[in-house]
Structure 1
Amino acid sequence: MPVQPTWDVSQIDYRAIVNDWHAVCLSSEVEEDKILPIRLMGEDLVVWRHDGAIHAWKDYCRHRGAKLSLGWVKGDRLVCPYHGWEYDGQGQCRHYPAHPSRTPGPRSRAYTHKAEERYGYIWVCIGEPKGEVPAFPNWLDDDYRKVSAGPYVYQANALRAIENFLDVAHFPFVHADLNGDPNAPDELETYDVNVTPEGLTTSEIKVFQPYGDHRGIPVTAKYAFSCSSPTTAYFEKKTGDTERFCTLMMATPVEQNKCIVRLIVAINFGEELTTEQILKRQDLVFNQDRRMVETQRPHPLPVNVRDEIHLSSDKLGVEYRRWVQRRAKDHDLSILTEAPTVDA
């Protein structure tokens, strides 16, 4: 029988993101010669590092299905805890302890996945990546101070979490007296959404915010959003002629109804601000978002735009849903249905 993913391949949201990069943990969480178990899209994986190189595999030994996360690293090999099979960094088994003189065949490989290290995080693709890890424009700019925030565990769909991030109309109500005034919500002006092969971008969207950033001061903010992957989005927020408050949000789909939100904040102002002040505001805002996103029904994002009611202020959300739907039709799942074999 073919090996099927544990999640329902008919689900549009997973089909749309199977070939994307997902931030699964901080780089610092993967110590040299240690094994870190993670979960991505309903699958148990292991991430491990040797000589600085990062590996991400299915948490599964091809011999008898034991969890590799219970094993250990021996030199440049990962050892299964059940019968001691030794896998090299490419996933090929190199040693059967019960048959030490026998050379393991090519069919005894572990299930390996692509892994990259970027922006202080480990990124994994369980399919076949169609492009690079999503861009973070401010990462190499020394004028910006970068702070990682989270993780925030949402009992909610990752695409719901990203769509919420892309939405400004909720600011006065979910983030009352912080990102908006519930007694005088902004009438949102028309904005443009550009759909390109690289993803979605918007023109600036202007809003008033009583507590606009980590300094606790009122600002008139101009947001410009971009989204190059359905689970990773970015905004640049202008709060003055030169002041910029930028955020990369990564929503890792653990299960279809559970995700982990991680952030990198980049600001080019407020040298007097402490890391604690920056994190306090991020914790407040994203926990407010979490409480709301967890209530949304149905849990999966309704990508058919006829399923819900939309206003002109929802233009970005509508284009996001259409984009997800198109990507789901394009992605090939055959790479996930390899039949298990034995080394004859």
Structure 2
Amino acid sequence: MLYKGQWDRAGLDYQALKNQWHVVARADEVSAERPKAVTLLGEELVLWRDGAGQIHAWKDYCGHRGAKLSLGCVKKGEIECPYHGWRFDAGGQCTRVPAHPDQATPSSARLIFRHHAAERYGLIWVSLDAPVRPLPVFPEWEDASFRKVFAGPYRYRGNALRSVENFLDASHFPFVHANLNGNPDAPEPLKDYQVFKDDRGLRTSEISVFQPYGDHRGIPVDARYTYSVFNPTTAYFVKKTGETERFCTFLNATPVDEAECVIWLIVAINFGAELTEEKILYRQDMVFEQDRLIVESQRPARLPLDLQQEMHVRSDRLGIEYRRWIRELGQIAAEGKTTQPEIETALS
């Protein structure tokens, strides 16, 4: 039996996620003085900044007596334990034991657990093991013609992979997002589309749907989606809502544990200069609250990677290939491989 916060580490889903980048916090949540506690894949971590402002992610544990470092502070660019005031530098070396200031500090090499951490797009990313894929690219981040708005975080008592698959599913629009992204009384059939796989992940051909309230302006649009999956918990779409209007969403789902996740969004739009941030967030909050209720209801909580466990139709093609990709990544990680073939295949 798994206790709360634990994950079946032999499962291919866990294997696929342990060596990937995951968003765990907003960058502005970690100050120079105070560490921050987060949980990733059931592991309690502490985020902190050294004297140069570099972000670090360690197991939230002091090797002296097991206290949580996140309850401490950062002094002179070193993290200090709240229990006995021991300090550790960015390399994990103990530098100060206040009870014995003249004694050589003990070795901490085997008792300080450091993970991989990076900062990009105003977010903090962590990989428990050495990451086998690069940090995702957010195409509009450097494009000044796009306005960027952070939405969320949205906390789901649901699985991160289920949440990403939900984000990639256009056929739920008329029902979960009735009268926003579709008409429940006249649901629109989805035309067949393609899914492409290469070393960058998955992406689709264009998927067209009519939406009564298609973007933050509250107007009906003939929306044309192109989806991408950059990492197992990082997905993205470009949504064309006019000749030049583009509504892009960069989504990251933190796998807190197997049945809990946090959704982080960055929305990028190149229209509606008059739109207030409040109006933009109103639509995002409404859509992701509707999604939350569905994702939290799904059973089993973990995304089934065996395609025989659930039924599928043609419109589920992206979800099917996402599950196959997660299974493949898990098998690669379980076998200890560090490289993946650079191929591009149209999946139909």
Question: Could you say which TM-score interval applies, normalised by the shorter chain?
Answer: over 0.9
Q: 2:37 is matched by which residue type in structure 1?
A: P
Please say if residues 92 and 108 of structure 1, whose CA atoms lie closer than 8 Å, have aligned partners that are also in contact: no
Q: C-alpha distance in 1, partners of 2:227/2:65?
A: 47
Deviation of the 1:180 alpha carbon: 0.3
Could you tell me how far apart the structure 1 residues matched to 2:108 and 2:152 are?
41
Q: Which residue of 2 aligns with 1:130?
A: 132
CA distance in 2, matches of 1:262, 1:6: 22
Between the aligned partners of 1:97 and 1:108, the Cα distance in structure 2 is: 21
Deviation at residue 40 of structure 1 after TM alignment: 1.1
* 1:338 match: none
How far has the Cα of 1:12 moved from its partner?
2.3
Equivalent position amino acid for 1:132 in 2:
P
In 2, distance between residues paired with 1:14 and 1:99? 42
Tell me which of 254, 276, 285 is aligned to 1:283. Answer: 285
Q: Which residue of 178, 181, 185 maps to 1:179?
A: 181
TM, length-normalised to structure 1: 0.93
The one-letter amino acid of 1:29's match is: E
Cα distance in 2 between the residues matched to 1:94 and 1:188: 62
Task: Count how many residue pairs are aligned between Structure 1 and Structure 2.
Answer: 330
Which of 204, 221, 224 does residue 222 from structure 1 map onto? 224
Structure 2 residue aligned with 1:264, among 258, 263, 266? Answer: 266
What is the rounded CA distance, in whole Å, between the counterparts of 1:146 and 1:183 in structure 2? 34
Instruction: Kindly provide the CA deviation profile for residues 99-137 of structure 1, in whole angstroms up to 9, marking residues without a partner as x.
Output: 432143353551111111111111111111112211110
Give the stretch that moved more between structures: 123-132 or 230-239.
Answer: 123-132
Aligned-pair identity (%): 56
The one of 304, 307, 324 aligned to 1:305: 307
Q: CA deviation at 1:8?
A: 2.2
Matched-pair contact (CA < 8 Å) for 2:6–2:257: no
What do the CA deviations read for 1:35-94 (whole angstroms, capped 9, x no partner)?
111111111111112332111111011222111112221212111122332110121222
Contact 1:93 1:110 survives alignment (8 Å): no
Please, what TM-score do these two structures have when normalized by structure 2? 0.92
Structure 1 residues not aligned, in runs of 5+: 335-344
2:330 to 320, 328, 331: 328
Displacement over 6 Å in runs of 4+: none
- Determine if the alignment matches structure 1 residue 244 to structure 2 residue 261: no
- Deviation string 1:9-31 (CA, Å, 9 cap, x unpaired) is 12222211111111111111111
How far apart are residue 98 of structure 1 and its match?
A: 3.9
- Alpha-carbon distance, 1:333 to partner: 9.2
- Which has the larger displacement, 166-175 or 22-31? 22-31
1:24-39 alignment to 2 at 5 Å? 24-39=24-39
Give 3-state SS (helix, strand or coil) of 1:294's partner.
helix
Determine the structure 1 residue equivalent to 2:340. Answer: none
After the TM superposition, which of the residue ranges 260-269 and 105-114 deviates more from structure 2? 105-114
Task: Tell me the secondary structure at the aligned position of residue 213 of structure 2.
Answer: coil
Decide whether the 8 Å contact of 2:34 with 2:72 is kept in 1. Answer: no
